[in-house]
Structure 1
Amino acid sequence: MDLSEHVLSAGRAVLDWVQREWEPLSQAELEQRLDQAVEEILEADLVAKVKAQPPAAIYLQLVQSPAAAEPQVVPAEAALCPAEEEPQGGQEAPDTADSNAVKYITELLQSSKSQHSRARLAGRARLSLSHTVLLSLTLLSKRISYRSVSTRFRLEKGNIHRIFFSFCERVNILEEEQIRWPVDREAAEALFPLSSLLGKAEGPEVQGVPQVLGVLGHTRIPIRLPIGKHDVESTVPEVKRMKKEAHPDSWLNLELTCDRRGRFLHCRISKGSDTDRAGDLRDKLKQHPELMPPGSCLVARAGYPLTAHILTPYVGSLGPRENLYNKTLEVHFSILDQAVASLKARFQRLRYLDIGNYERARAVVLTACVLHNVFLDMGHVVQGDVEKEEASDQDGEGELDEEGVSRRDAVSHLLYKDLDS
């Protein structure tokens, strides 16, 4: 039985290889391959001419040529968009691109364990990894069409589409490496005070007031409604229906936990119809309490579960003690708000993903989150404008557990007592 399964598996692999290598080219793909062949011939001829020139003449050309200037690092807000000059055959990177970022991400992908970079798709023009990175960052950073990028890079529109999603798949593989929960010494260094009012001489553990490991929250990423989900029978005008009767599948929920630098420690992407608030994270922390350093917590807005590891605000009629506690937590929520604003400012395609396929939309969002951390590690910071999230039905009190209620009451009491003293 085992032998027959191995034989079948080998047979399928051979068939896949044959299909990949011998798949007939379409007319458009054939023209693209011919164009690429001509470009390679012209490039080889140019290289031969350059080699035939004396070194002094080459140096003089490089000095006088604008293309020889040092690469200019564009502001982060420009998000690596190509210059107005059109790349030749998709092989010339714009001089004004952030070459350091492209180089860093290229090396990151090359050093990953993925074998994706060695995969070959028959009948498609091939693009170097560095140009693939530049093209994909261009699409992520600006809300421009595939047609526009196709014109700039002189590649087929369908080829642009394939290259971009291939890039997203490769970046997604880096999720565990780049979006990681801090442990041991890294976790201890990530902690910061819950309240600036507490005296430095008295440590948080002595006070009984925990330190903060991260801020938990979420945002929505609008996407194109999948085919078949439109409510064509609704009598509500289209514009009002989009605002008041938005289909849950017209957005993605992006749940995040970030540290005080705005770096993502946790990322969960789900469909808009998924109403769970950090249930998986709550269960994971309960099963693995070692993930939270002693005397630490996460803070989250109302609607999230209140547990021994996640502190949320009080809801309802509040006294001075509860109000002080809520204001203490509110200070930290701006950290996540700014991280989300920076994410959407750097990767403007997240403001509306014209993708009706959930898996592909999710891959694009995850790519942006991974690269958000990569850019922060490089020292590239973008300050986006914080947008007020619309109120939700889930903004009331979330799930409560007995240990969480006790810890919240104890923390609020200590904060109030410390203020009085």
Structure 2
Amino acid sequence: VLVQLTDSDLNKTIAARIPTASKVLMTLWLLGNQESYRGIPDRFGVRKSTLHFIVAEVVSVWARCASSIMQWPTQDALVAGHFERKWKFPGVVGAVDGCHVPIKAPKDEQAAYFNRKEFHSVVLQGCCDSSMVFTHVHVGSPGRLHDARIFANSGLDDIISSLSEEYHILGDSAYPLQVNLMRPYRDNGHLTERQSRFNVTLSAARSVVERAFAQLKEKFRRLKYLDMDNLRMIPTFVMAACVVHNIILTSAEPFVVPREELDDPRLVRRDPDLSRASTAGKAKRDAIASLLHPA
């Protein structure tokens, strides 16, 4: 499947003597391992410059397929049914979160990419279904940017605003509470039992996107640190990995992520202006909490 997808849009003038299947294999090996660029050319019998050209072309092809491989669900009721059967939370059509992809310090705007954990990164925001398949991805924002601001710039807000009022996605406390985006009650030490139990249920359902990120980085270990000088190509590499992640999940056996990958802490920055809750969102959250946990 991946070879056919690549071959249909590949620039055949680049390393024309090398079969498409070999180019795909080289790219998968580079994304899946943290081996240096010096060692990989010897492994495949090509020059370093040739490897650079091949990988750049292949990941560009994969990234261009994102709109067809990562599609927003058209059957909201079906997707929501899967979430409700697994986690008892009604009306959920996706879970959103962000993760940091560590990068080499860029030559320009280093401060913008230097996050609060004191390493340089770009942010991958992903929304996935109950099977960890990405339905929307936004990648490339500087690591210092707040989750809520990335969400506002990603286009996902526009997508969910067109949902029927009964449907929503789930996010953590860094995201704004809206009719179509549910987040936990803020724990001020005085939560009611119903609110606390609501938070537990939401967290369990939302964790699917954390597992999706963990699985993505376990498959494509290069995303644990992208040692690249070309900052503009980094989003292409990450998007390509997300595309292949989806292809694997929709056509192969389940992939098991080691426990330590799931325990990797995520960085959250709250923007008090963008995280402001809507009145309608609060009312809907209270109604769902009452439905989930009647008195």
Regarding TM over 0.5, the answer is: yes
- 1:327 aligned to which of 190, 200, 205: 200
* One-letter amino acid of the counterpart of residue 388, structure 1: D
Q: Write the distance in 2 (CA, Å) between the matches of 1:226 and 1:392.
A: 22
Report Cα offsets for 1:52-76 as digits up to 9, x if no partner: xxxxxxxxxxxxxxxxxxxxxxxxx
1:386 matched to which residue of 2? 262
User: Which is worse superposed, 264-273 or 307-316?
Assistant: 264-273
Residue of structure 2 aligned with 1:366, choices 239, 242, 245: 239
Show the counterpart of 2:123.
Answer: 253
TM alignment of 1:157-306, pairs within 5 A: 157-184=48-75, 187-191=76-80, 192-194=82-84, 210-228=90-108, 246=118, 250-269=120-139, 270-275=141-146, 276-279=149-152, 280-286=155-161, 289=162, 292=163, 295-306=166-177
- Quick one: distance in 2 between partners of 1:157 and 1:197? 48
CA contact (8 A) 1:300 1:311 kept: yes
Taking a change above 3 Å as real, the CA distance of residues 380 and 223 of structure 1, as seen in their structure-2 partners, is farther
Task: Name whichever structure is richer in helix by fraction.
Answer: 1
Q: Separation in 1 of the partners of 2:134 and 2:44?
A: 32
- TM-superposed deviation, 1:153: 1.1
The C-alpha deviation readout for 1:273-317, integer Å capped at 9, x for no partner, is 43214213123322xx2xx35632211111111111110001023
Q: After TM superposition, give the deviation of residue 189 of structure 1 in Å.
A: 2.2
Give TM-score, length-normalised by structure 2.
0.86
Q: How does 1:135-146 map to 2 (within 5 A)?
A: 135-146=26-37
Higher relative contact order (CA 8 A, sep 6+): 2
Q: Which runs of 5+ in 1 are unaligned?
A: 1-103, 199-208, 232-241
TM-score between both structures, scaled by the size of structure 1: 0.62
Residues 108 and 273 (structure 1), Cα distance of their counterparts in 2 relative to 1, 3 Å cut: same
Q: Is the 8 A contact 1:194 1:329 kept in 2?
A: no
Q: Look up the equivalent residue of 2:30 and give its one-letter code.
A: L
Q: Deviations over 1:100-140 (max 9, x none)?
A: xxxx21112234xx4x434x25xx56421111001100101
**Structure showing greater Rg:** 1
Tell me the CA shift for residue 188 of structure 1: 2.9
Q: Distance in 2 between matches of 1:166 and 1:230?
A: 27
- Aligned partners of 2:116 and 2:183: how far apart in 1? 28
Paired residue for 1:402?
279
Contact 1:194/1:328 (<8 A) preserved? no
C-alpha contact 2:180 2:281 (8 A) present in aligned 1: yes
Q: What is the CA-CA distance between 1:409 and the residue it aligns to?
A: 1.6
Amino acid corresponding to residue 190 of structure 1 in structure 2: V
Per-residue displacement from partner, 1:209-252 (whole Å, max 9, x unpaired)? 73211111111100111125568xxxxxxxxxx896736xx201
Root mean square deviation, CA, Å: 2.5
Instruction: Give the equivalent residue in structure 2 for 1:375.
Output: 248
Task: Specify every segment of 5 or more residues in structure 2 that has no aligned partner in the other structure, as ranges.
Answer: none
Distance, in Å, in 1 between the alignment partners of 2:195 and 2:78 is 29
User: What is the DSSP-based 3-state SS (H/G/I as helix, E as strand, rest coil) of the residue aligned with 2:195?
Assistant: helix
Counterpart residue number, 1:156: 47
Which of 4, 7, 11 is residue 117 of structure 1 equivalent to? 11
Q: Is the CA contact 2:23–2:54 (under 8 Å) kept in the aligned structure 1?
A: yes
- Letter in structure 2 aligned against 1:356: D
User: Aligned partners of 1:337, 1:230: CA distance in 2, in Å?
Assistant: 27
Cα–Cα, structure 1 residues 362 and 391, in superposed 2: closer, same or farther, change >3 Å?
closer
Structure 1 residues 158 and 300 mapped into 2: Cα distance closer, same or farther (>3 Å)? same
Partner of 2:215: helix, strand, or coil?
A: helix
C-alpha deviation, 1:330, in angstroms: 1.1
SS at match of 2:38: helix
The aligned amino acid for 1:265 is T
Task: Note if 1:416 corresponds to 2:287.
Answer: no
